[in-house]
Structure 1
């Protein structure tokens, strides 16, 4: 064993002993964990205590625990060299890379508005995301639709968004890339955003009518904004291309809140979904103890 690996393992073991988790930590650090049936996709730093600070070490640790996918919301802000390093590690381990964000704003009216400068910036971001997607060998780009315009009638905003999404589709379609639109709850986290309900996202996808414009269904956001999660999932199913997970309230890992993820994931599995399940949440308990508890929770909800 290399000296740095030995030291790192020693530190982790000491932390585990201190918190009464030595046996669990050794078990969860094993390389023999069977792959998850669901394509759970961690984000960097969600398991930073157990997996280490280095992004590549985190990916390798995740693979050892049974994860076969990964995602990174802020990937586009990394250097080309960093992106290539991550992509190479993912592919070498036989894993898949999911979504990253192509364009995002929580301060400006982009898709819903008619400001040419802002809309041109969106299209520029989208074009840049094509090369990133190719580099990561993924077809999913999460493009955030920006703020609503409280001074503009909603139907005009919808028409503006449809038109811009059609232009996005024209950029993505030749490359087989899909923009996934996420509804973001307005009641707790993102007041003022244009896209906040699943029926609204469904209408946009249907109006654009492109295989490159689909819905990202985030269970946390949907539960807070609308509830009725499984019915909404069923209604919008033919336009959903990506799922993200997180419990409510708090946006922590599954089993910490009110969403019955055992039933939810069984329902999704019964529908034949084989795609990504992005782990878009925080860990409720601090330190390695919390990370191992979250890992155990994922084992508990993975459908048989």
Structure 2
């Protein structure tokens, strides 16, 4: 939350977010469902218990989807329990991470001259298919690694397109799409290869596979490029999944500079029926923060 907004709230000014918070604090179970499939994750409602309890609580607040970056690292039994909890609540599974860089090693280098990192990436994709099936997930996140400073970027792009096409051939027959996540280099991830939705669009078009799409994380795009709605419009044919998070701070909508209500309105106009991952933290800890999180999404969903 910005200082100016906190000052207004302290002074008793009425805002849509404040009004929504009041409603959330007294909300009963089985609240009205959100109009879009916003997906919390483990930790969004940490005060409510463990993973299964948090899924149940999210469903009671009107959320219809769930996201779990860590699902691939969970035991088969825990994956099965999560899948059952989601099915029991008629909730859609969003993304899990199928392939993630080794941040401390600045790898993989999918555009490098040798094939080692590309083969390891493809191995990750193959072993993620069973996870996706177990969770009834139709999308899985991939991060395309780091830039190789010794190789021209255009050559790296050709190699990334090639390996993504090969990966698409692996997942597409199973009805699964990998969603490549562009990351910002200015705040969080210096040195990564894919840095914008536009760059993801070029790779997805080059791969030309239903199994290769873009994860449009609005937080990263705002930092790196801005111009959010026109970028989404231009690249829409290759966008398979979205994530929200405000900037600065990467917390719930209403805590930073991104005006999410028009984005939600635009998505409704596009008849978007997919999942929107809540890829951010809570600006306030504990139950007060959880109530504020729900209120923030009620505010943009209503707006």
Relative contact order (C-alpha < 8 Å, sep 6+): which is higher?
A: 2
Q: In the alignment, does 2:227 pair up with 1:228?
A: yes
Q: Residue by residue, what CA displacement relative to the aligned partner does 1:209-245 show, whole Å, maximum 9, x if unpaired?
A: 1111001101100000001011111110111110000
Q: How high is the TM-score relative to the length of structure 1?
A: 0.89
Counterpart among 26, 34, 51 of residue 32 in structure 2: 34
Q: Partners of 2:131 and 2:233 in 1: how far apart?
A: 32
Which residue pairs with 1:212 in the alignment?
Answer: 211
RMSD: 1.3
Q: How high is the TM-score relative to the length of structure 2?
A: 0.89
Counterpart among 44, 47, 58 of residue 46 in structure 1: 44
1:115-126 superposed matches below 5 A: 115-126=114-125
Q: Partners of 2:221 and 2:64 in 1: how far apart?
A: 26
1:136-175 superposed matches below 5 A: 136-175=135-174
Counterpart among 74, 89, 95 of residue 93 in structure 1: 89
Q: Residue by residue, what CA displacement relative to the aligned partner does 1:240-280 show, whole Å, maximum 9, x if unpaired?
A: 11000000011010011100011111111111111101000
Which residue pairs with 2:112 in the alignment?
Answer: 113
Structure 1 contact 41–70 (Cα < 8 Å) conserved: yes
Q: Partners of 1:25 and 1:275 in 2: how far apart?
A: 25
Q: In the alignment, does 2:59 pair up with 1:63?
A: yes
Work out the number of aligned pairs and report it. 279
Q: Residue by residue, what CA displacement relative to the aligned partner does 1:193-217 show, whole Å, maximum 9, x if unpaired?
A: 0000121110001111111100110
Deviation at 1:63, TM superposition (A): 0.4
Deviation at 1:144, TM superposition (A): 1.0
Which residue pairs with 1:176 in the alignment?
Answer: 175
Q: Partners of 1:210 and 1:280 in 2: how far apart?
A: 26
Structure 2 unmatched ranges of 5 or more = 1-21
Q: Partners of 1:294 and 1:104 in 2: how far apart?
A: 27
Q: Partners of 1:170 and 1:281 in 2: how far apart?
A: 31
Structure 1 contact 109–149 (Cα < 8 Å) conserved: no
Aligned-partner SS, 2:26: helix
Structure 1 contact 38–303 (Cα < 8 Å) conserved: no
Structure 1 contact 269–303 (Cα < 8 Å) conserved: no
Q: Partners of 2:43 and 2:171 in 1: how far apart?
A: 30
Structure 2 contact 165–207 (Cα < 8 Å) conserved: yes
Deviation at 1:111, TM superposition (A): 2.1
Counterpart among 64, 75, 79 of residue 79 in structure 1: 75
Q: Moved runs in structure 1, 4+ residues, more than 4 A?
A: 23-26
Structure 2 contact 95–137 (Cα < 8 Å) conserved: yes
Aligned-partner SS, 2:241: strand
Structure 1 contact 35–66 (Cα < 8 Å) conserved: yes
Aligned-partner SS, 2:99: coil
Deviation at 1:303, TM superposition (A): 4.3
Q: Partners of 1:138 and 1:113 in 2: how far apart?
A: 31
